[in-house]
Amino acid sequence: MTTDQVLGVFGSSADVIGNTSHYQLGSVGDADTRGWGVSIETPIGGRTRATVDYRQSIASWTRGFAQESAAPLSAYRVADRVQNLVASVQSVVPVLETRLLVVYNLNTAAALADESGPLGGARFELQLNQSLPFLAFTNARWEALVAVRNMFYDAADGGASVYDELLVVRPPTRVLGGVTVKF
C-alpha cells in the first residue's frame, strides 16, 4: 500500500495546469499494488554485464487529491495496469579504470499525460565514471562522474513504488557532473 502518491509535472503549459511554473506537485491518492517480476542478468565477455528486468502490476486506486492546489492535475490519468521493461548494460575498461552504465526504461503507463509518440514515456540514463589515480595520495578512491539522464529514480532501487518514476510527467533531461570520493 502506497499512501499519498505524488505526481510531478514538468514543463507544464498554462492551459493544462493553470500556471506557468517549471513544475507542479500534487497527491493523486493511495494505491494498493499487486504484481510480479522477473530479472535476467548475464555476463557478456569478461568486462560487461547485461540485465533485463520485467515487472507487471495492477493497482487499486483511491482517487481524490489531498490538496486543493493539486486539482488541475486531475487532467492526468493514473494507470491501473503497469508493465515495465528495464534494460541495462554495465561495462568496465580495466586499464583506464573507466566504468560505463547505460539504462533504458520502457513502460506501458509512462504516457500518463500527453507525452507524444509511442515511446513518449521512455526513460534513459547514460553514466560514465573515470578513475582519477593521480589523486590517490590517501586511501580514498576518486572518480570523475558524467551522466545524462531523464530518469528520476534509480531503476535498480527495489524500495520504490512502481508509480514513483511513472508519475513524473515530461521529466527534463539533465546533465550531471562532478567528483565522487569513496573512503
Residue extents of the structural domains in the chain: 37-58+80-182
Task: Look at residues 87, 89, 88 and name the one whose alpha carbon lies nearest to residue 48.
Answer: 89
Q: What is the DSSP string of 68-85?
A: GGGGGGGGS---SEEEEE
Task: Look at residues 162, 164, 171 and name the one whose alpha carbon lies nearest to residue 82.
Answer: 162
Residue 6 pairs in a beta bridge with 27
- pLDDT tens digits, one per residue of 66-97: 444 444 555 556 667 888 899 999 999 988 88
- pLDDT tens digits, one per residue of 163-176: 777 777 778 889 99
pTM for this prediction = 0.77
